[in-house]
Amino acid sequence: MTLYEWIKNEIDSEGYSSDCRLPDHADLGQDAVDKWVPGAYESLLMRSTYSIRRHAIQNYLLARKVRAQAVRPSDKNQAKEEAALEKTGALAVVDPVISFLHAMHTDKDALRREGLRLACETRKRELVKVGIALLGMWGNKDGGEDLEVLLTLAKHEEFTFYCAPAVRSLMGAEKVNDLLLPLADKLDGWGKTAILYELNYDPALKDPETGVQPASEYLLRRGCKNRLGADVNANICATKGGLMPKLKEISDSEELPDKELYTGICEIMWGLTEFGGVYDSINDYKYGHDTRNLFKQLVETRPGLAELDPRGPEIIERMR
């Protein structure tokens, strides 16, 4: 069974268990379960100083193998391509390989077909990831089958890191929120983080009647909630969600915010006050000083907030 078929079979009416183990998990080594959860490999490397760069000639030769199978598909070319792709992580090769394929003026329809084959008809995760990247670059812009494949694979957090930017590349920034926001609540690990970085936070997308920017509002309300810890997404939620302006808006209003909004704000503040040294804290947030003061003032002057979320006083204590 291919990984794409396996994921489709795992989807049920209640959503998808995005952190379950893929069938090729044994390929990662006996201790892989102790080191990685779906999506962690790429996400941690992107946040570290560890170099994943390969020599240009290696990427060029790999691009030639992908091109050969795309334009002259055969069992022999397929075996060479897949053997080469299996030896390296997709994160290290997708960008340079795509650049070489562009430079080689490779037939776009052929690359699209190869992207679909790798994404839907292979059993190894690194092959699927390369297929996702090819679809994001050369898939059909009208969506259809290509978009369905990307959104299906995105439901497993091993692939969301690749699918989210592929969806944005394929369908455009103006459509990305409608496509990715419904997925965000079904993910609660690295996949959710990947989606937050691909949403469109353009203020021009605000609803003219309510003044709400859907992606920013989502970050304030539910963006920080995940199984990895509030500190993982706290800074992007504060920055792209507009935490400080929202606190100012609440401070200027006589009414209390709704429970979901205030709970979401407390989750962000909790994450910003972890001070663990791994992720950005409130000291790294551009408006950290004003945010401290506004949040402290709100908690101390609005006792009704404690009924919405009781963590306010503890967060203030953590800020000291």
What is the average pLDDT score of the chain? 89
The whole-angstrom separation of Cα 152 and Cα 11 is 9
**pLDDT higher for 46 or 126?**
126
Across the range 238-242, mean pLDDT stands at 97
| Tokens 């030769």 -> residue | 61
The whole-angstrom separation of Cα 139 and Cα 279 is 35
Least confident of 19-23, 63-67, 184-188, 200-204: 19-23
Cβ–Cβ < 8 Å for 137, 111: yes
The whole-angstrom separation of Cα 177 and Cα 202 is 11
At residue 31 the predicted structure's pLDDT band, cuts being 50, 70 and 90, is: very low
Across the range 146-164, mean pLDDT stands at 94
First to last CA, the chain: 55
Q: Which two tokens stand for residue 255?
A: 């009414």
Count of beta carbons in the 10 Å neighbourhood of residue 227: 13
pLDDT in tens, 173-206: 999 999 999 999 889 999 999 999 999 999 999 9
Nearest CA to 135 out of 109, 103, 161, 174 is that of 109
Q: How far is CA 5 from the centre of its chain?
A: 22
Q: What is the radius of gyration, based on Cα positions, of the chain?
A: 22
Across the range 257-280, mean pLDDT stands at 93
Cα separations in angstroms, 32 against 37, 41, 200: 8, 11, 34
pLDDT in tens, 204-235: 999 888 889 999 999 999 999 999 999 999 99
Judged against a pLDDT cut of 60, whether residue 51 lies above it is answered with no
pLDDT of 23 reads 83
Across the range 292-319, mean pLDDT stands at 96
Judged against a pLDDT cut of 60, whether residue 279 lies above it is answered with yes
The whole-angstrom separation of Cα 266 and Cα 218 is 14
pLDDT of 28 reads 60
Cβ–Cβ < 8 Å for 70, 111: yes
